[in-house]
Amino acid sequence: MVPEPFLSIIVVVYDMQREAPRTLHALSVGYQEGVREDQYEVLVIENGSKAPLSASQVLKAGSNFRYTYLTDAPPSPVKAMNLGIGMARGKYLGYMIDGARIATPGLIRTALLGLRIFPRPIVATLAWHLGSEVQRKAVRRGYNQDVEDQLLNRIGWPNAGYDLFRIGTLAESSAPGFFLPIVESNAIFLSRSMTDELGGYDERFDMAGGGLANVDFYTRACKLPDSELVVLLGEGTFHQIHGGIATNASGGSDYRDRAFFQYTSIRGHDFRGPDKQPIYLGHVPKQSLPSMLESVEKALPGKRPARLVSALASRLKRQGSVL
């Protein structure tokens, strides 16, 4: 009998022939540092894609990867997430509702550490977009998959995993940075028992792309009693452009308006993000310093140190960016 892994990571993909192989490689032991295959499994749920991955493509990432195709899938990825929860064998679960996100090399090792240290942890990461600005704006200036492929080639990814910070910008949900509350995490880790307390993902969030389903899950998790929010330093996920309706669509403002309206309809009040004070865990690779300094500036608006930080951040970006 194969022993149960400590952690099960659920990844939902939809028509991501280009993006998903990178995402899965970034979760493999060939890329992640300091972890073994027997410590975790990765459950890839294909949400009714018209151009699906093959099981062999997924298994190529490692013997700890499993693939499931969800037939009759709704437009929202929420049902697929809950299917993964039901299939998972680990005591702890990791959630990546968008399978187009490339992780940094220490993500799993540091998440495992955070899950072991605290009795009721919510381990969360900040999110970045590949490119010099958030992608819903970048696409209007000509940013596309070819440009993105060139960026990844120029930093030598996957051999230089932390250089992702050199070609990324904080996503809007993580725009406040490390030292102010964020509203969402695109790699969340918590125990199965805490997931059961939440009832998993709420399938009433039935919009294509999920609407605020992931925001809602993260917010509700942060409100669980006696929980500890553990934010990882020096790690994160980087979104690849793929035409997704929630992140890349040019009509994004209309989508967001409908998503917030649906949230209010479901929860009975307007959205209010969590303000839980985090504990920080991890390290700070030099490539992440501009993001770290940008976070300090946002946490100290109008302060003289913030201007010094801004100047230093600009200098580091000029020296280190490949954009």
Segments making up each domain of the chain, as ranges: 7-283
Tell me the pLDDT of the chain averaged across its residues.
92
Name the percent of the chain lying above pLDDT 90. Answer: 86
Q: Please report the pLDDT score of residue 321 as a whole number.
A: 45
Q: What's the pTM?
A: 0.92
State pLDDT tens for residues 166-224: 999 999 999 999 999 999 999 999 999 999 999 999 999 999 999 999 999 999 999 99
State pLDDT tens for residues 130-176: 999 999 999 999 999 999 999 999 999 999 999 999 999 999 999 99
Q: Is the pLDDT of residue 246 over 90?
A: no
Confidence of residue 323 (pLDDT cuts 50, 70, 90): very low
Report yes or no: 175 and 138 within 8 Å, Cβ to Cβ. no
Q: Is the pLDDT of residue 74 over 70?
A: yes
CATH fourth-level superfamily of 7-283: Spore Coat Polysaccharide Biosynthesis Protein SpsA; Chain A (3.90.550.10)
Q: Please report the pLDDT score of residue 304 as a whole number.
A: 56
